[in-house]
Amino acid sequence: MTPRCGPYTSVDNLPGGRHVPNELRVDWDTMVSSAKSIAEQAIQLSTELDGIGREWDSLSSTWLGDAASSYAPLWQDWHEGAQHVARVLEESCDLLRQAATAYVAEDADSAQAISESTAAMDIL
């Protein structure tokens, strides 16, 4: 008989068609390294955007005419989109770090629970 966990007989068949893998492997060092790389790229992108923004401010203060008026809203849309990308990179970095920390903590908790269970059963 298959042991039941809650109302589900398998972690592979959850409501809504969700699938949970039978095995999860996480390389903590890779996650932290990736988070660091993403953070560095987010900082670099933000710095570049600040410089581009200063260049635009300088140009737009002297550029007059229909072309300038037509280009300004396009520039604003592009710049806001690029700033959004930089913010998303920063958020991704934070989420990767949080996930790495949570995985390590969960692994340690699981190891402790197994140790306590086996000690209580006196099998190891």
- Per-residue pLDDT tens digits for 39-81: 999 999 999 999 999 999 999 999 999 999 999 999 999 999 9
Q: Which of 1-15, 67-81, 88-102, 107-121 has the highest mean pLDDT?
A: 67-81
Measured in Å, how far apart are the chain's first and last C-alpha atoms?
26
What is the domain partition of the chain in residue ranges? 28-121
Query: Which whole number is the average pLDDT over 11-30?
Result: 66
Would the pTM of this model clear 0.85, i.e. be above it? no
How far apart CA 53 and CA 79 sit, in angstroms, is: 8
How far apart CA 82 and CA 22 sit, in angstroms, is: 39
Domain 28-121 part of CATH 3.20.20.140: no
Res 123 pLDDT > 80: no
